[in-house]
Structure 1
Amino acid sequence: MVGSADGLGPREVFELMGRHWLEGAAGFPGDLVAEDVVVEMPFAAPGGPRRIEGREKFRAFAEAGRAALPVRFEEIRDVAVHQTTDPETIVVEYEMAGTVTTTGHRADASFIGVLTVRDGKIVRWREYQNVPAIAAALGQLPALAAHHADQAG
């Protein structure tokens, strides 16, 4: 459903986000991000922020994170888009697949995103990542397990 003055609703914006990621870019296409965007990652990896407010703060975070992530994303698949009662918001289930560039290991991980787009701009993105799958692909699962064991004990 197109729900913006610019003709871009959340479905179209998510499609553009996916293309952006497959091109190896960080974050979201700059012209699609509201200045006061809120990005939330409730299940962020240890040490990562759970909430970022503002386009420039998110851009800096995303660029640093992308530079440190040795993965070439090659496919976004199993996409399921769920409309909510708010026409500006969708829930998206998807899987990203790619290759770890340092090892050649191919892997995938599932994600769920809640995307709100107003006037053709991303105003909120809440992403739930499969952190254990990402850590396993990067060979970081023992460190993640140790972190959680320390938190529990």
Structure 2
Amino acid sequence: MAATPTAREVFERHMFAAGAMDPALYAEDVVIETPFAAPGRPRCWEGREAFMSFVQGEGVSLPALTRRDVRIHESADPEVIVVEYELGGTIPGTDQETWAPFIGVLRVREGKVAHWREYQDPIVMAMATGRLPALLSSLGGAPAQA
């Protein structure tokens, strides 16, 4: 009988794997939060079905991203870790590379993600995904361009 994966193992094996959006990775009652989400973007999903519906319906279309400087911090609670990392890649339609820092708090229950709270810079992420004009427009800045 295999041991239940720890929070660190779930993060290392799955969260950065190509199949990170695999529904089997998440508990049925998972809560996923992005407190610093850009205006008009969801800040919380409650339940695997709600999150998967967003991921599949909205089509979380990100360019190929590379991870670097991953640091995992254990907590007093064995189900919880805090992670720091950078995601980067080439901005769509350009040769410009950009990197964005992230901090995440991960709680794993019975080997599945039960709670994920991710803090990211919405401006850098909008730049990296080609959504900066739409973000600026939503803030009353430059008009969105197609």
In the alignment, the residues of structure 1 paired with residue 3 and residue 52 of structure 2 have an alpha-carbon distance, to the nearest angstrom, of 22
Q: How does 1:78-89 map to 2 (within 5 A)?
A: 78-89=69-80
**Over aligned residues, Cα RMSD in angstroms?**
2.3
The answer to whether the Cα contact below 8 Å between 2:92 and 2:129 also exists between their aligned partners in 1 is no
State the identity as a percent. 47
Structure 1 CA distance for aligned equivalents of residues 88 and 134 of structure 2: 22
Counterpart of 2:45 in structure 1: which amino acid?
I
Question: TM (normalized to structure 2)?
Answer: 0.81
Instruction: Tell me which protein shows more helix as a share of its residues.
Output: 1
- Are 2:43 and 1:50 equivalent residues in the alignment? yes
User: Which among 98, 107, 113 is matched to residue 107 of structure 1?
Assistant: 98
TM-aligned CA deviation for residue 108 of structure 1? 1.6
What residue in structure 1 maps to residue 4 of structure 2? 7
Task: State the Cα distance separating 1:58 from its structure 2 match.
Answer: 0.5
Distance 1:119 1:69 in 2: 29
Aligned to 1:129: 120
Find the counterpart in structure 2 of residue 60 from structure 1: 53
- Contact kept, 8 Å, 1:72 with 1:100, in 2: the verdict is no
Q: 3-state SS of the aligned residue for 2:16?
A: helix
Shift of 1:142: 5.3
In structure 2, stretches of 5+ residues that fail to align are: 142-146
Alignment of 1:16-95 (within 5 A): 16-20=14-18, 25=19, 28-65=21-58, 67=59, 69-73=61-65, 75-95=66-86
Note if contact 2:91-2:130 (Cα within 8 Å) is conserved in structure 1: no
Q: Secondary structure at the match of 1:19?
A: coil
With over 3 angstroms needed to count, the CA separation of the structure-2 counterparts of 1:6 and 1:55, relative to structure 1, is farther
Question: Would the alpha carbon gap of residues 108 and 53 (structure 1) be closer, same or farther in structure 2, given more than 3 Å must change?
Answer: same
Moved more, 6-15 or 51-60: 6-15
For 1:60 and 1:143, how far apart are their aligned partners in 2? 22
- Residues 9-38 of structure 1: CA distance to partner in whole angstroms, max 9, x if unpaired? 111111121123xxxx5x533222100100
Supply the distance in 2 between the matched residues of 1:134 and 1:87 (Cα, whole angstroms): 31
Aligned length: 139
